[in-house]
Amino acid sequence: MIRLDKVGHHYSSPDGGDVVAIKDVNLSVAAGKFVALKGPSGCGKSTLLLIAGGLLRPTSGDVEIAGVEPYKLSLEERAAFRANTVGFVFQQFHLVPYLDVLDNVLAPSLASGRKDWKRAEALVEQFGLTHRAHHTPSALSTGERQRAAMARALYNEPKVLLADEPTGNLDPENAAIVLKQLVAFADQGGAVLMVTHASDASSVADEIITLG
Ligand SMILES: Nc1ncnc2c1ncn2[C@@H]1O[C@H](COP(=O)(O)OP(=O)(O)OP(=O)(O)O)[C@@H](O)[C@H]1O
Ligand SMILES: [Mg+2]
């Protein structure tokens, strides 16, 4: 479902130098599989995840997501493809600060055009946030924010779910909830790629890839 072939990426720095973030990475995540990505800080895990999610064009190599090569599409086509295919959970949540939980979960409908209040409400309930549905992110605990971000990532029924240290800031109870939802997503045929430092993830992943 996700395939990276000899993918490399370098960032150009303000002083004119180059930072090589990743080099010649081959990776694949089949449908129904949960792959964890580990490695030391700065080895390029977040960079790889952005590339695998169609959010950052690599400087070399080929990328395929659900049978499509996203970087061969126009920017507009790629955004539409992403909206319908990829769910992304960022470490810093990236919830919209002035929208309440329910509206944050509904936000992906702006990109997909599928506005379904019932689905948003069901996701809010699935993540145990019904009593917080009309609170904005600043009024939520860290675990609640991460659960809201997960609910939002699932809204458009993506085929692949990418998560950057989704349990990094969470207490064990919330971490377990998030991991359980990721496992359930894979069990239903989705592909999960998760960056993690935590050892608890090792027990749920089908495969662990170490970078760097
Ligand atoms: N926008 C950017 N411009 C320049 N260099 C960058 C940029 N983003 C990341 N880098 C550099 O690329 C390398 C890989 O960064 P990346 O964020 O992918 O690492 P990481 O493995 O996710 O680290 P961490 O575990 O700390 O989150 C690092 O050396 C980083 O400093
Ligand atoms: Mg990172």
Helix or strand (DSSP H, E) at 141: none
Please name which ligand lies nearest the alpha carbon of 44. Answer: 1
Q: What digits encode the pLDDT tens for the residues 69-97? A: 999 999 999 999 999 999 999 888 889 99
pLDDT one-digit tens code per residue, 22-40:
999 999 999 999 999 999 9
Domain boundaries, the chain: 34-45+73-210
Ligand 1 pocket residue status of 13, Cβ below 6 Å:
yes
Give SS3 for 121: helix
Q: Which ligand is nearest to the CA of 56?
A: 1
C-beta separation of 125 from 157 below 8 A: no
pLDDT for 118 beyond 90 = yes
Instruction: Give 201: exposed, middle or buried? Use CB within 10 Å, 0-12, 13-18, 19+.
Output: buried
- Residue 92 CA to ligand 1 center (angstroms) comes to 15
pLDDT value at residue 112:
81
Please tell me the residue having the least CA distance from ligand 1 atom 13.
Answer: 21
Residue 208 has pLDDT above 80, yes or no: yes
Q: Tell me what pLDDT residue 121 has.
A: 97
Hey, which of 19, 193, 209 would you mutate to test ligand 1's pocket, going by the most ligand atoms within 8 Å of its Cβ? 19
pLDDT value for 200: 65
Indicate which atom in ligand 1 lies nearest the CA of residue 47: 18
State the chain's mean pLDDT as an integer. 93
Q: Which residues contact residue 104 at a Cβ distance below 8 angstroms, ignoring those fewer than 6 apart?
A: 95, 96, 137, 148, 149, 152
List alpha helices for the chain, DSSP H.
45-52, 75-85, 101-106, 109-112, 117-126, 142-154, 172-187
Nearest CA to ligand 1 atom 30: 42
21 lines ligand 1 (CB under 6 A): yes
pLDDT at 2 over 90: yes
pTM of the entire predicted model: 0.93
Check if the beta carbon of residue 192 is closer than 8 Å to that of residue 29: yes
- Phi, psi (rounded to 5 degrees) for 98: -100, 5
Task: Give the position, in ligand 1's atom list, of the atom nearest the Cα of 40.
Answer: 25
- Best probe residue, ligand 1, of 45, 193, 210 (max atoms within 8 Å of C-beta): 45
Task: Express each pLDDT in 162-204 by its tens digit.
Answer: 999 998 888 888 888 889 999 999 999 999 999 998 776 777 8
CATH class label, 34-45+73-210: alpha beta
pLDDT greater at residue 197 or residue 143: 143
- Nearest ligand to the CA atom of 211: 1
Q: What is the mean predicted confidence (pLDDT) over 13-28?
A: 89
